[in-house]
């Protein structure tokens, strides 16, 4: 069964998952896990349209699966004890549609790891990033960039870059002190800029240079922000743990667009993370331009593009039409394609 295939916001709570209408913010469904976990800290929508979240039970890590169409709990996708994964803090699907989970080890010393699992079966594929990889010791989030590299946010070292093919450490991508609370989450804009959520939201260029403070946490009234995600139109959404609110900020400017979700009925256990049902696009260079790929289940979306410069330029449909193969849709663009940015727009 195909799950989520339309634009929805997925709100991950400490012990439940909720789906929200992306136009109104209204809650569509919510479901608590049928599996005894202490907390669910992160998640993503898979290429099958279902929702995958991390489970943490007294430090033991697991992955739970929720139905993308009904929101109901479906199964334990990766059980406690299948690996030595402890304290999972972030979950992402990679360009290869495998699942990557960042994990923290507390004893005998702090250490960070990233595990890899088969995206269809949940079978463990080992540690994609093992302990002692660069300065990674306290991971709190991660995201794949359009360059297919994996960027991991470390509480002490900043945003670290790892090779998306083999997990090799490639250096510090972005660094800097964040006002309290400690750095929490990262997300990429359609233009490839990085948003780093801590007490403020700071914006970094594609080369890792600080552009500036995108949203001032004090003036925006951010209350214990713990989750950040970029919506299909480029707006930035921030989850607040205790208020159960999701606030929305305008793409490009950071101007407040108000409260998108004003608390969630029957859920009082705190917000943890956000996700969207729009898939992550993979952009790769070709001999004479660029190629864009995304999961083939998203047939009710059109690929649109604009020039890479951030601004108010219109998004225009891309031609030619995509070709299908190996569960992916692919569009190849000629000269000039490498200077474009892309997103999917619902029909």
pTM assigned to the model? 0.84
Q: Which of 276, 294, 323 is the last residue of a domain?
A: 276
Task: Give the mean pLDDT of the chain.
Answer: 85
70 and 158 part of one domain: yes
Burial code (b: 16+ CB inside 10 Å, e: under 16) for 245-269 equals: bbbbbebbebeeeeebbeebeebee
Among 276, 302, 328, the domain boundary falls at: 276
Q: Residue 124 pLDDT > 60, yes or no?
A: yes
* Half-sphere exposure in the Cβ direction for 58 (13 Å, CA): 2
Whether the per-residue pLDDT at 80 is higher than 80: the answer is: yes
The tokens of 297 are what? Answer: 């289940």
Asked if residue 259 and residue 287 are part of one domain, the reply reads: no
261 and 286 together in one domain = no
pLDDT, residue 313, reads 67
Coil, strand or helix: which one is 220?
A: helix
- Domain region containing 109: 8-276
CA–CA separation, 159 and 250 (whole Å): 24
Count of CB atoms situated within 10 Å of the CB of 102? 28
What pLDDT score does 97 carry?
A: 84
**Residues linked to residue 80 through DSSP beta bridges, in sequence order:** none
For residues 217 and 304, membership in a common domain is answered with no
Lowest mean pLDDT among 22-31, 35-44, 47-56, 338-347: 338-347
Same domain, yes or no, for 298 and 252?
A: no
Distance CA 268, CA 20 (A): 17
Residues 220 and 249 in one domain: yes
Domain count, the chain: 2
Distance CA 43, CA 124 (A): 17
Sheet of 88-93: strand order equals 88-93, 99-105, 111-117, 124-129
What are the angstrom distances between the C-alpha of 149 and each of 101, 141, 167, 253?
15, 14, 9, 26
pLDDT in tens, 199-246: 899 999 989 999 999 999 989 999 889 999 998 778 999 998 878 899
Of the three residues 276, 301, 324, the one that is the final residue of a domain is 276
CA distance 332 to 79: 39
**Percentage of the chain surpassing pLDDT 70?**
88
Residues 206 and 138 grouped into a single domain: yes
> At 217, which helix (H) or strand (E)?
helix 217-220
292-336 pLDDT per residue, tens = 887 776 676 788 887 755 555 677 888 888 998 877 789 988 766
Amino acid 147: pLDDT = 83
pLDDT of residue 192: 84
**Has residue 3 been placed in a domain?**
no
> Are residues 173 and 27 part of one domain?
yes
Q: Assign residue 57 the CATH number of its domain.
A: 2.130.10.10
For residues 331, 333, 337 and 342, what is the CA-based torsion angle, rounded to 10 degrees?
-20
- Rounded Cα distance between 154 and 291, Å, is 31
């Amino acid at each position: 069964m195909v799950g989520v295939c339309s634009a929805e916001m997925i709100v991950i709570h400490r012990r439940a998952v909720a789906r929200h209408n992306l136009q109104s913010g209204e809650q569509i469904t919510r479901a608590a896990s049928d599996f005894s976990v202490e907390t669910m800290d992160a998640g993503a929508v898979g290429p099958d349209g279902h929702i995958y979240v991390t489970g943490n039970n007294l430090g033991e890590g697991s992955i739970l699966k929720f139905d993308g169409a009904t929101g109901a709990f479906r199964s334990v996708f990766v059980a406690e004890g299948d690996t030595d994964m402890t304290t999972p803090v972030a979950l992402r699907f990679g360009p290869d549609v495998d699942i990557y989970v960042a994990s923290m080890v507390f004893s005998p010393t702090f250490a960070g790891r990233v595990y890899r699992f088969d995206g269809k079966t949940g079978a463990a594929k080992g540690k994609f990033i093992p302990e002692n990889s660069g300065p990674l010791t306290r991971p709190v989030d991660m995201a794949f960039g359009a360059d297919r590299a994996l960027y991991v946010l470390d509480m002490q070292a900043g945003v670290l870059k790892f090779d998306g093919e083999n997990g090799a450490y490639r250096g510090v991508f972005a660094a800097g002190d964040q006002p309290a609370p400690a750095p929490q989450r990262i997300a990429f804009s359609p233009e490839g800029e990085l948003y780093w959520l801590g007490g403020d939201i700071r914006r970094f260029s594609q080369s890792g240079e600080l552009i500036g403070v995108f949203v001032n946490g004090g003036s925006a009234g951010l209350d214990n922000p713990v989750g950040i995600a970029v919506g299909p139109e480029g707006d930035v959404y921030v989850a607040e743990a205790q208020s159960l609110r999701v606030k929305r900020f305008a793409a490009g400017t950071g101007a407040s667009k108000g409260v998108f979700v004003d608390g969630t009925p029957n859920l009082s256990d705190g917000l943890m993370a956000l996700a969207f049902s729009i898939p992550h696009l993979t952009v790769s260079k070709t001999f004479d331009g660029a190629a864009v790929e995304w999961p083939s289940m998203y047939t009710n979306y059109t690929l649109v593009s604009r020039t890479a410069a951030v601004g108010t330029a219109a998004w225009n449909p891309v031609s030619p039409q995509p070709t299908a193969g190996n569960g992916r849709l692919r569009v190849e663009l000629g000269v000039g394609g490498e200077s474009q940015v892309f997103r999917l727009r619902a029909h």
